Structure 1
Amino acid sequence: MATAFAKVESAVHQHDQLSHAGLLERAFTFAFRGLVYAQIWEDPVVDMEALAITPDCHIVTIASGGCNVLSYLTADPAAITAVDLNTAHVAYNRLKLAAVRRLPDHVALYRFFGEADQKGNVAAYRKWVRPQLDDTTRRYWEGRDLIGRRRIGGFTKNIYKRGLLGGFIGTAHLLAKLYKVDLAEVLEAGSVAEQRRIFETRLAPIFDKKFVRWLIDQPASLFGLGIPPAQYDALASDDPDGIRAVLKGRLEKLACDFDVRDNYFAQQAFGRRYARAENASVPPYLQEENYRAVVDRIDRVEMLHANFGDHLASLPGASRDRYVLLDAQDWMTDAQLTGLWAEMTRTAKPGARVLFRTAAERTLLPGRVPDAILDCWEYRAGESREFTARDRSSIYGGVHLYVLKG
């Protein structure tokens, strides 16, 4: 654990620890020690189209909350290696793998991860899931969090309200209520046009409040979105009017660009849970029509507590097909980016694809990774813009696709 956390620190800590910037960086890494994402915030539908997964593909991906790892199984890849430095995310993914393997049916799986607030989930854990867990994962879930709650109890009280992002969303709801706005109003809209009306008349004015303006100007306020201090300025540069305009634009996309009934990211942001409705929008791995495929293919997933680049360094050349970096590169130094891309170039098969997201709009690689490495890859700029526009989570500035030449 110490080694893994040191790697996170080395990526984020770029200033003296006693400087203002250094203190922010250390606060950020401390915040990321526990569970960050109970649900991953990258759209797997967009991912799977961009990755063009085929039955012979071996995918290497950062695990995060695990929703996309399991959802990729619906595309029938040969294998998925999921890696993560965060011990809580490793435990969460191992719990998910065991639950898919052992829970008796789709109803039980959906109750556990779709509803995630039923008292019977603890009994299901004890009967079906616990016997399949390694000792480290079992100790994590049966242990207590910083305020004394048993972690497995989160599945009886809505696990999606927990974690760093869950806390950020909860704080946003409380802040809105100070101004007599219920963010869940968006979910009551009967059309996309009505969603826009609610956004423009109810949500957008909050960004003009004096306290909200001050709060957004504090880099630490965005830790819950996974934005490290080094990327705060880059994010603010996406709009001439600064960070407030950027965040307002991202929220506008989430509230207005997609029908909220078909967007489980909006359901989580504005309602703090998946909708309780027949055929509700949920990640592909939780959809009933995909249940059998996910269960039958679950043994194709390998979960590692490891650094992405270190894992690639252990592999033979030309052995992997797809790479999913989420937004991890936003944390990295130029040297770390160069090392990572050197390993992906070495291990990539012809036609391999790399998919990642950035908090800011532009791809961050030119000028930071040597041309000798980047010239091996084709940046699909037009497709990347299209995928960005269609990403229902709406919190990222850019979705970027690179394809190995030759």
Structure 2
Amino acid sequence: MRRYRTNDDLSPEFRVDPPAAPVGVQAGTARALNDRAVLRQLLSGGPQSARDLYREIGLSKPTVYLALARLEDLGFLIPHDGVAATGRSSRYFAVRPEAGYVAGAHLSAVEATVMVADVSLARTHGATVSTSGRTPEEVAVALREALDSACRQAGIPRTGLRSVLVGVPGVVEPGRNVLERTPGLPGWERADFASELSRAAGSTVRLDNDINLAAIAEMYFGIVPPYSSFLTLWLDEGVGMGVVLEGKLHRGASGRAGEICSLPASVRGSQSDSKPLHELVDALSLRRLAAEFGLGHGDGRHILRAAAEAPEGTAGARLIDEYSHRIASGLLAPTIIVDPERVVLNGPIALAGGDRLCVGVEDALAQYMPSTPQVQLSKVAGNAVATGALSGVLEAAREEIVQSIST
């Protein structure tokens, strides 16, 4: 049943003639464009009242009422409890979850993490399955298992997903769904790997660089203001960077923007003795550095977490100081070139270093630059790559639903 009166239901003195369609635009087309504008706003802004909608979109009240009535009749909308900011009771509408579900995932040598959500983000479900020691074929099975688990939580079959976007380590060739380089992951770069994942998932799987997706997550769910410029530095078993310029992810001409693992960097006090950055700051390098300071050969995250809590003057404090300078050495060139507002540290190792690592990196950069960006930890909850993949696939799925309204 419609919850808003149409123009014909109104008394003559309150009726508003619909605006004339622009030259060359049919009335049906104008209606469809209005419906799309209302649906697009509800998809991006969540449950809203008619009052919210006409203020946000700029359409007249009768136009919004008519669009809501049509969208409800078409099955796109459901009623939603809500109270206007003024405190006045108002009818709210939300996009029906059944309008579509999508999935974002993170595939690594350790695990497959999946997030499934409806297109309005009213409900989100996740699952993780181990991929350690698995062949590419077994990794595809792990992805399917994780998708099955998350879809069961959502109450939908895996085949009910509109699309799946998967973050993977390595360069994804522009215009092709193929990994060009996957260090330490033999077989992932073969041409049919994405097809193998698609067969397992039961829907088309698109691949994207994992760190680029983590950067996208920062724009949607992190600490970065819209339209800002920032760098995301990922520290784990590997090293990578995402580059965002004025609110847009920068991929570069060949899709390699941010591939800084081979960028020359140096240890503190040895500027002439440079090494590839990953040989100074990745997990293996951190464990070696810890051994030099007599802190054992344990897991890099545990080592750095303990060092971040160590009193000044101790081996732990000296370790985090040296590690901060190594990171800053690698950040120096891209930071000078991009001149970002901030640098976001992410990845298991960076997060283990906490705020003390951020302060150390910022102080080290200040020794070489007259103006330094703010260095902060990522605030994206959970798996940032899977979150970024979900954010990326949502935008395309929402627009596909909006465009399904025929003119």
Give 1 or 2 for the bigger CA radius of gyration. Answer: 2
More strand by share: 2
Same fold (TM over 0.5): no
Structure with bigger RCO (C-alpha 8 Å, 6+ apart):
1
More helix by share: 1
TM-score under structure 2 normalisation?
A: 0.23
